[in-house]
Amino acid sequence: MARRVYELMNPDVVCASPTTAAGDALKLLLDRCVTDAPVVTGEGWIVGVISEAALVRYIEAPSTASETGRFFTDEEDFRDLGDTPAHRTGTPVEKLMSSAIFPVTRETGVAVAANIMRERGLHRLFVTDHGRLVGVVTSLDLMRIVEELG
């Protein structure tokens, strides 16, 4: 009998909300040792994925106050402020996330999940039940099956 995703999935998924600040999301990913996380509404709907790479690129990108659209009227008092680095850690992840989501259901076959990962170059798939997040299955989870067969 074909194995199903629910047999492998982990129900403990590291998530961010759309309003999570970029700096907080990066800390969460680093603390939990994951490279990306689904962005999930309070009702459990996945609306995107935020990656460590996207967060680091955004937070560490050079940006000044003038580049972010901050303008000042007193030129003498704020002459050098246009060259002052702007803090980018407060940006909500909904502005940085990818909306490309490839969810599977609990009943998805393991071979189908592996094929989706291979074709899309993904290392994890989010598992949903009627559109709501219930777990995650990773390429390492799939490798356990290969190990069992070997």
15-26 pLDDT, tens digit each: 999 999 999 999
Query: Could you give the C-alpha distances from 36 to 59, 110, 124, 134, 148, in angstroms and in order?
Result: 15, 21, 9, 16, 27
Q: What type of residue sits at position 94?
A: E
* SS3 (DSSP) at 37: strand
- Assess if CATH 3.10.580.10 describes domain 5-149: yes
pLDDT value for 125: 96
pTM over 0.75: yes
